[in-house]
Amino acid sequence: MFKCHRSSNQKVGKNMRDFNFFSHYIDTKKTSKKRLIHLSLIGITITLVIGSITFANIQRANKIEKEIQDLKNYLNSEERIKKSNELEEIKRKMKITNSYYTIVEAINTDMDKVDIVSSSLMEKISSSTPKDLFIKTISLTVKDGQMQGVAKSRVTIAEFVHNLKKIDLVENVHVSIINKESRENSSYIFAIRCTFKDVNNNETD
């Protein structure tokens, strides 16, 4: 009877299947652990990236701050102030020099104009002078000219004025004085003022 009982148990044991009721719990635990590791790695990576960026920004800010401080130190340094004062002195001297140069250039230009007017006008006035008219004094500038002289008659003076007006450099002619030289002498003394055209405009024309 005992034998039959053992045989029956052995048979039942052979026909029974093994069931693991904790396998799902174990798999879930493994998955959660992997996910936790994965999230931890991501968190560490993000922390490292943020830390690197923050460190780089701090380094850059420190560098910029140092450069600003160095620049301030240079601007306030005695050497820079001395160079700045020297530069201002040089600028002042250059300004004075340029002013002198401008004045000298203007004088030279006026002298050139006077030379042009004088040489050209003297020749043209001489060729415009009638036979019986004599110029005693003459003074010429860039803008005008003054002449005093003696003429045989009023007609001779009028002829001279007419000839002066025909000169291209002359703009206006004004006779300020016509008087008899003396009772004994029939000649006339005269004074004439001429205004001249601008030399530059005349040359352009």
pLDDT for the residue numbered 2: 43
For the chain, which residues make up each domain, given as ranges?
107-204
Give the CATH class of 107-204. alpha beta
Sign for the pseudo-dihedral over CA of 118, 119, 123, 126: positive
Q: Which residue has the higher pLDDT, 47 or 5?
A: 47
Model pLDDT for residues 126-181, shown as the tens digit of each residue: 889 999 999 999 888 878 889 999 999 999 999 999 999 998 889 999 999 999 98
